[in-house]
Structure 1
Amino acid sequence: MTKMTKRFLIFAPLASLVCACQSTPQEPTLKEVKSIAERYADVNVAIAEGYKTDNKCITAAMLGFPASMGTMGLHYVRRDVLGLPDKPVGRVKGTGTHTDFRTPAMLVYEPQPDGSLQLVAVENLVFAAAWHETAGHKEPPKFHGRTYPLLKDDPATKVDEAHGWEPHYEQHLWVFRDNPNGVYSPFNPNVTCRHNKPLAPAPQHSAH
């Protein structure tokens, strides 16, 4: 065996290890998340890529938290990424376990006085049952070591802490609006739903 062959055999495992490490996907930084998502500042781009909204602007008070904590905002959702059924019955339940913020499952906007929307955050949402029972994860999803907050309705309270959804983990990243509560907080006091215009109810047609 030549010296070169011996040298190759010694360093080959190390080279393989280095390649394996380099091929492991890394979580994006907040700066990278912001840069990638900037194109959604125009909500029409989001709509063209399949994001949809139920036009509900969520506040902390709506979920039973102090109003001073602020607002979640108006969400535009990729239903396919969340694995949502076309016509949900009862609580919203999905199969999504998506956690890559390079392609966020949800975009968060703040309604403006002139009727336009301003992008303030991105979000990923993971259904607890799909994450633990289907995907087999024992620990909650995390982003850079931070555990996603769990939203689960408490039947003993008057409000719906999960806003009509099955228990789920959701993580906001406030990369487009400064948040005194922190960039990872669910709510932002610097965001308001004051100018949101709910969809008008469908007209009731009388039978003939």
Structure 2
Amino acid sequence: MFRTCAAGAALGLLATPLAAETYDLEALRAATEKYRDVEVALADGYIPDPSGHCVSAAAEGLPAELGAMGIHYLHPALLGLAEPGDRVDGTGTHTDFTKPAILLYEPQADGSVELVGVENLVFAKAWAEAGHNGPPEINGRLWDAMADDPATDADEAHGFTDHFDQHVWLFRENPAGPLEPMNPNVTCDHAGH
């Protein structure tokens, strides 16, 4: 769905990864368990996506049955975010999922948030400058290549410059698989409550 040959070609990268990592998902869950408490995440430098947007498949022009990602809490230093511009850009090449650059929270009816997964994102230009000629890989899966196609009305890169990203659903089972971008068991129904 998100991983397309066109996106990879648009990024000018080969399909062979140079940064293949294998993680035990139970060990990852244990390493990130503390972030179930959003206050711990805030104290460790994570901030809610400034847009306040809860990402759902339907809002992204995709079939609603794909579910959602939730609200992204970003760690600006791990992402190496640049000064604000037309698109979010940065120098981030961080791939360590034991200290993820992004935490995914589902909004709850009572106004709280529940940790459902983690994510890392590397900016394509910085990644290539670091000597990589393909996307990172986790547990045999290439990260998703995200590049905006100016020929469409959609924003395929979601406001970011060209990048690779990878979601890992550690705290909410994903029937599509633990490494897929959207999770049918996550909802944005309570966003803004």
- TM-score category of the 2 structures, normalised to the smaller one: 0.7 to 0.9
1:111 equivalent in structure 2: 107
Query: Are 2:140 and 1:138 equivalent residues in the alignment?
Result: no
Report the identity percentage: 53
The answer to whether the Cα contact below 8 Å between 2:117 and 2:169 also exists between their aligned partners in 1 is yes
Query: Are 2:144 and 1:149 equivalent residues in the alignment?
Result: yes
The answer to whether the Cα contact below 8 Å between 2:47 and 2:75 also exists between their aligned partners in 1 is yes
Structure 1 residue 61: deviation in Å?
Answer: 2.6
The answer to whether the Cα contact below 8 Å between 1:108 and 1:123 also exists between their aligned partners in 2 is yes
1:172 equivalent in structure 2: 167
- 2-structure distance, mates of 1:62, 1:161: 12
Structure 1 residue 63: deviation in Å?
Answer: 2.7
2:92 equivalent in structure 1: 96
- 1-structure distance, mates of 2:141, 2:123: 17
Deviations 1:30-71 (A, max 9, x none): 111100111000000000000001221111233332222111
- 2-structure distance, mates of 1:65, 1:127: 23
Counterparts of 1:42-61 in structure 2 under 5 Å?
42-53=37-48, 54=50, 55-61=52-58
- 1-structure distance, mates of 2:62, 2:126: 26
Instruction: In structure 2, list runs of 5 or more residues that go unmatched.
Output: 1-20
The amino acid of 2:171's aligned partner reads: F
Q: In angstroms, what is the RMSD of aligned CA positions?
A: 1.4
Structure 1 residue 72: deviation in Å?
Answer: 1.2
The amino acid of 2:179's aligned partner reads: Y
The answer to whether the Cα contact below 8 Å between 2:103 and 2:117 also exists between their aligned partners in 1 is yes
- 1-structure distance, mates of 2:22, 2:187: 30
Structure with bigger RCO (C-alpha 8 Å, 6+ apart):
2
Structure 1 residue 146: deviation in Å?
Answer: 1.2
2:18 equivalent in structure 1: none
Tell me the secondary structure at the aligned position of residue 189 of structure 1: coil
Aligned residue-pair number: 171
The answer to whether the Cα contact below 8 Å between 1:28 and 1:102 also exists between their aligned partners in 2 is no
Instruction: In structure 1, list runs of 5 or more residues that go unmatched.
Output: 1-25, 199-208
- Higher-Rg structure is 1
Query: Are 2:33 and 1:62 equivalent residues in the alignment?
Result: no
Structure 1 runs of 4+ aligned residues shifted over 4 Å read: none
